[in-house]
Amino acid sequence: MKANSCPELQNGSRTSLQNTPRIVLLLTATLLLLAIIPLYLFPLLATSLAWRSLSFSSSSSSSSSSSSSSDMVRESITGLGVAQHSCDIFRGEWVPNPNAPYYTNESCWAIHEHQNCIKFGRPDTGFMKWRWKPTHCELPVFNPAQFLELVRGKSLAFVGDSVGRNQMQSLICLLLRVTYVVDSSLTQDEKFRRYHLPTHNFTVASFWSPFLVRAQEADPNGPTLTGLFNLYLDEPDSNWTTKMTEFDYVIVSAGHWFFRPTMFYEGGQLVGCHYCLAPNVTDLTMYYSYRRVFRAAFRVFNSLEGFRGTVLLRTYAPSHFENGEWDKGGNCVRRQPFRREDTRLDGINLEMYMTQVEEFREAEREGREKGVRFRLLDTTDAMLLRPDGHPSRYGHLPHVNVTMYNDCVHWCLPGPIDTWNDFLLHILKNEGGRARSWNARKSTIK
C-alpha cells in the first residue's frame, strides 16, 4: 500500500533524480567553457598583438597586408572594431640608453680610422648612449647570436659608397662580441672586402660603387675642385653586378657622391649634366641621375639569371653641415639628437628620399612578378634626427690635410649607425616569419 500510495510523488522523485545529473553536467560544462575560453582567447590575442608589433608598414606592400590581416584577426577575437596603430619601426624618437654602447672602439678592429671618433679625441660620449624607439612599439637592440642563427650558411653584400661600408663595419663590430671573423678578400683593394665567419658559415662583403653605374673621372678638379665625373646611367657597374648571384641578401645604397659635378650619358650619348657649367649642355640636376641609377640597379636584380636573394634599399642618410657647406667651413657640433619637433624632412633630403622610394616601389612591383624580394631599410627619418653622431673634426689627427676636414656625412663607431643593424635584424626576423608562413601554406595545399 505504501509503495502505491503516492505514485505521482514516486514518479516525480525518479524524474528529479534523472534530471539532476543533466543539470549538474550542464552547469559543469558551462563553468569549464568559461574557464577554458580565456585560456585560448588571450594567448591568441597576445599572438595577434605580437604579430602586429613585428610588422612594419614601410617594408613592402606584403607587410602592409600582414598588418591589415592582424587587425582583422584582433577585431574578430575581441569583437571590437577600434582602429589600432600598426608598428612602423622607422618612425619614432631617440631615447636615452644607459646600457649602450655594446662594443668599444678599442675592442673592434673593423672601425675605419675616419669613423674612430674616440681615438681622435672626441671629448663627449653621450652620442653613443641613445636607442631608437618606434612610436607604437619597441625595437630590440641588436642580438648578435640571434642574427647569426638567421644568416647561418648565407651571405650578405653591401653595394654602394663609404656610408654603406660604414654600416658593414658596424655589423662586424656587433658580431665580434660572440664570434670571430676571417678576412677572405679576393683582392688587396680596400674598396672590395670580403669576410667570413666560420662558426656560422656566414659571409659579408662590400662592393665600392658610389654611383652604382659605370663612372669615369673626366677631370680631377672640375667646377668645384671635387672632380667631374662621366656617368653612364644605363650601364650598371660590373664591379658588383657580376657577383650578385653569390649572395642571399644585398643592401644597396648611394647618395652623397651625386652632389658632385657629373656628365650624363645614355645610349652612349651625352644627354645632360649636373652642375658641369659646360656650354650647350643642359643641367638636368642630380635628381635626374639619382633616379636613373636606382632604376638601372634594381633592373639588374629583376633580370639577373639565377638570383633568388633579397634586395634591401638602405635609404638616404642626411648630412648635417651647419653654418656653411662642407668645403666652406660647415660643421656639425651638436651634442644631442634632435627632437621630432625640432626638424623635418624637406628640401634636398626629401627629394633624394622620395626619388629612391619611388623607384624602389616600381622595382618591388616588378619583383613580385619575377620572384625577387625587395625590402626597405628606411634609415632616413632616424638619421635626420642625429646631427650629433658624425665624426666632425674627430676623424683624423689635428692639422692633417684631408679633403673633408669636418666630416658630417659618415657616422662615428660606436654610434647611431649601429641602429641600422637593429633595423636589419628586425627585417630578417620578419622574413623568417614570412618563410614559415609560406611553407605552412604549401604543406596545407599538398
Half-sphere exposure of 90 (CA within 13 A, CB side): 22
Catalytic residue at 185?
A: no
Q: How far apart are CA 145 and CA 170, in angstroms?
A: 15
Half-sphere exposure of 146 (CA within 13 A, CB side): 14
CB 191 within 8 A of CB 160: no
Residue 224 vs residues 215, 228, 259, 276: alpha-carbon distances, Å = 18, 8, 10, 9
Which of 185, 127, 96, 201 has its CA nearest to residue 408?
Answer: 127
Handedness of CA 86, 90, 96, 101 (dihedral sign): positive
Which of 174, 118, 205 has its CA nearest to residue 392?
Answer: 118
3-state secondary structure of 376: strand
Q: How far apart are CA 304 and CA 402, in angstroms?
A: 40
| Catalytic entry in 407, 418, 422, 426 | 407
Catalytic residue at 184?
A: no
Can you list the positions of beta strands (E) in 167-282? 182-183, 192-197, 202-208, 213-219, 228-236, 249-252, 262-266, 269-274
Residue 304 vs residues 28, 234, 299, 367: alpha-carbon distances, Å = 65, 15, 8, 11
Length of the chain as a residue count? 446
Catalytic residue at 162?
A: yes
| Catalytic entry in 48, 59, 63, 162 | 162
CB 393 within 8 A of CB 287: no
Read out DSSP for 307-327?
--SEEEEE-------BSS-TT
* Residue whose entry in the numeric block shows the C-alpha cell 539532476: 20
Residue 358 vs residues 106, 353, 442: alpha-carbon distances, Å = 41, 9, 32
What order do you get walking across the sheet with 249-252 strand by strand?
A: 182-183, 192-197, 202-208, 155-160, 249-252, 310-314, 373-377
| Catalytic entry in 410, 418, 422, 426 | 410
What are the beta bridge partners of residue 115?
A: none
> Which residues lie below 8 Å from residue 303, measured CB to CB, with a gap of 6+?
none
What amino acid occupies position 276? C
**Catalytic residue set:** 162, 407, 410
